[in-house]
Amino acid sequence: MAKKDTLKALTSRDISEEVAVLLLTKYSTLSAISAASIEELVALGISEAEAEATQSKIGKRTTRTAAAPVKTKKPVPEPKNEVMEEVYREYVFSVTENRLNAIIKKLGIFLPMKIVTDISSAIEAADLSDEICEKLIVTANRMYTSHLMDKNESTGVMAAHSLGEPGTQMNMRTFHYAGVANINVTQGLPRLIEIVDARRVPSTPSMDIPLTGMAAEDEGVARHVASEIEVTSLLDIASVETDITNMRLVVTPNTRKMEQRGLEAEDIVDRLNKIKQVRGMVKLSGYQIVITSDEPSYKKLQAMYDAVKTAKIKGIDGISRAVLSRVGGSWKIITEGSNLKEVLKIEGVNANKVMTNSILEVADVLGIEAARNSIIREAMGTLGEAGLDVDIRHIMLVADLMTNDGQVKAIGRHGVSGKKSSVLARAAFEITAAHLLHAAMVGEVDSLEGVTENIIVGQPVTLGTGAVNLIYTPKKGENE
């Protein structure tokens, strides 16, 4: 966070500007200030009372408006949610994890818990001595520390370069879904642009739906699940004719198609009777379904036909096709269109492994952490399809930046780039004249703390070697 942004964050918490300026002489982020002790803050010239008040305000954001009196209400019991209880249960370390943690404490080193759990799961079944476990921890620590970024490293610029440079080599074409005929998914540069732009609806939304139980083993059951997912319109299973003489519509179901989709004539009657234009006019006459107009009007008859022919009889909105695919001995469904929320409710679907290429839909249904993982997966898959090898940590940085405030933001002028504090950095991205004109009108000041703005004005950036000022004072008599 730039010092200018930190200053704004401090003053927004009712911390005086004088105290904020003193804090910024040593600390550049809120987390660094909150981690400092009271004695360290007092050493900057702040009184002890102000230091304590500052710590409390940073630890918990306060608002400027006075709090309204809270009306006491009868507590409403929260509905029992077994899924949430399962998610938020307390994590219990395994025997191997406790053993590895003891070795880490003994060696006095630090390893992220993710690395510890990965090592633990890998050696769980092996009977390893303490010496071998210690060697594993030492090796893991050496690899971890060697992969840490250096202080003042320009990670953002490196990540942008690592994604932007391979992006110029990507093909602008649409690929067939692997192993499935007639299912197209956008790949290459257009798909990468969709991901970083956080498009609400992808150009070719698609879902990968693994099945479970009998549906994964039996093709007949799998086809039934697919028919429950794919939207079935009236014209998919029946023909519709207009009887002008009797002012009615005659629907003739196709027996074979009806059996394939598990439908009966009564199901069609029930569904058509819910349509406003023909409500109460639909009747079953033998094997045919007759819809008689309630008034002798050709216009009314045409309106009835238009409403009926596109009527949805069965399926999930948004999914136009559902195709079966057999992978590794198990059946799964590939779709055109996406509706994650409703697909998770279908019996026979392996809800834990359902995937969609719509990142915003993942965020709405499963939350922001799932959306972050979806961004990483989709970007890595897109680059991998093009035969490009990009370090996943660059993509992780982009995903973190897009999701760090709880919402999925685009990397553009309406998202991350448009929120930069630097005028020149915003102007360098898009609509240059508009940014410069607005900044001149409001008297905005650019403190030149980032990479882009320093390059524009032609001076060293405050990163890497440019972040260090080295002053050498020769001893007396040395140059005499």
The closest alpha carbon to 263, from 227, 222, 215, belongs to 227
Q: Decide if pLDDT at 79 tops 50.
A: no
| Exposed/middle/buried for residue 49 (C-beta within 10 Å: 0-12, 13-18, 19+) | exposed
Class of the CATH-defined domain 157-203+359-403: mainly alpha
Q: Decide if pLDDT at 176 tops 70.
A: no
Q: What 3-state class would DSSP assign to 118? A: helix
Q: What is the pLDDT of residue 377?
A: 93
Phi, psi angle pair for 10, to nearest 5°: -70, -45
Pick the CATH number of 3-59 from 2.60.40, 1.10.8, 1.10.150, 1.10.405: 1.10.150
Give the pLDDT band (50/70/90) at residue 175: low
Most confident range (mean pLDDT) of 29-33, 70-74, 354-358 is 354-358
Six token digits for residue 168: 């110029």
Class of the CATH-defined domain 232-307: alpha beta
CA-to-CA distance for 244 and 241, rounded, in angstroms? Answer: 9
Q: Decide if pLDDT at 82 tops 60.
A: no
Lowest mean pLDDT among 28-32, 129-133, 194-198, 383-387: 28-32
CA-to-CA distance for 429 and 53, rounded, in angstroms? Answer: 40
Give the pLDDT band (50/70/90) at residue 478: low
What lies within 8 Å, CB to CB, of 78 at 6+ separation is none
Give the pLDDT band (50/70/90) at residue 104: very high
Lowest mean pLDDT among 33-42, 441-450, 469-478: 469-478
CA-to-CA distance for 434 and 37, rounded, in angstroms? Answer: 45
Across 416-443, average pLDDT: 84
Helices within 295-442 (DSSP H only): 298-309, 340-343, 359-366, 368-385, 392-403, 423-429, 432-442
Fold classification of 420-467 is DNA polymerase; domain 1 (1.10.150)
Q: What is the pLDDT of residue 298?
A: 82
Give the pLDDT band (50/70/90) at residue 2: low
CA-to-CA distance for 38 and 23, rounded, in angstroms? Answer: 12
Q: What is the pLDDT of residue 180?
A: 53
Across 319-346, average pLDDT: 88
Q: Decide if pLDDT at 135 tops 70.
A: yes
- Report the mean per-residue pLDDT for the chain: 81
Across 311-331, average pLDDT: 86
